[in-house]
Amino acid sequence: MDDALSHLNKRFDHAALKPEVTEKQIVTLCKEARQYDLFAVAVNPVWVSLARNELAGTGIRVVSVAGFPLGASRSEIKVAEAVRAVGDGAQEIDMVANIGWIISGQFDRAKDEISTVRKNLPYNVLLKVIIESGLLTKGQQLECLKIVIDGGAQFVKTSTGFFGGATVDQVARLVKASKGGVEVKASGGIRSLRQCRELLDAGATRLGSSSSAAIMNEYLSRRE
């Protein structure tokens, strides 16, 4: 198997973020994460405590979200959501930037919101900022990258998955322009080993997917 897929399991944030997800499905999500020793699970705030308990002692991280999926919550609500999720056991926060501000050119306002969320989180909690790349022009994507870096986040994330998924072009553009200033998480519509290889080749360092277990099955079967 090629180098791009080396330690593939440790690239995955195994996600269950749809509104209809149940408690039983979160338990299954965590079981799959343990089975394949994935990097993290990504869950909505209401499920953070359950995921923390299910994964206790495994080293698998819990990711939660703020302002998800629209990004249109008030800034103080995003802060409160992120802070509470960390209190419940989340070790990483994926916040959605205010896409309306970005599309209308209010980049400083969007940056200040990112910075405010970052300042309210413990230093050892990673902050990823979802910019919904599929709704933006190439220029807007690059402006977003700048405000994510200037706002102090550690990752830029392509998409929520609700409005289109990650593309190789998006990832490659963000990786090249970031010059190492942040890492890139590709997310949305990742359902195959081929997509994983292409996105990792493009420079993504983390993959968000609800299909992580199926992809790992495909990966392991090809190694046999």
Q: What is this structure's pTM?
A: 0.97
Residue pLDDT, tens place only, 169-199: 999 999 999 999 999 999 999 999 999 999 9
Position 31: which residue type?
K
Which residues face 43 on adjacent strands?
16
Tokens representing residue 150 in the block: 């200037």
Mean per-residue pLDDT of the chain: 97
Mean pLDDT (whole number) for 159-173: 97
* Structure confidence at residue 6 as a pLDDT band (50, 70, 90): confident
Residue with tokens 């990711």: 63
- Domain range summary for the chain, segments of one domain joined by +: 3-223
At residue 3, does pLDDT exceed 90?
no
Tell me, what's the pLDDT at 22? 98
Tell me, what's the pLDDT at 1? 47
Residue pLDDT, tens place only, 90-118: 999 999 999 999 999 999 999 999 999 99
Residues designated catalytic = 94, 157, 185
Residue pLDDT, tens place only, 47-92: 999 999 999 999 999 999 999 999 999 999 999 999 999 999 999 9
Tell me, what's the pLDDT at 224? 63
Tell me, what's the pLDDT at 2? 62
CATH of region 3-223, choose from 3.20.20.70, 3.30.70.20, 3.40.190.170, 3.40.630.40:
3.20.20.70
Tokens representing residue 107 in the block: 């980049």
pLDDT above 70 covers what percent of the chain?
99
Tell me, what's the pLDDT at 162? 95
Tell me, what's the pLDDT at 4? 76
Strands 206-209 and 12-16, by their bridges, are: parallel
Residue with tokens 């200040």: 112
Which residues face 94 on adjacent strands?
65, 128
Please give the torsion angle defined by the CA atoms of residues 88, 85, 134 and 143, in that order, rounded to the nearest 10 degrees.
-130
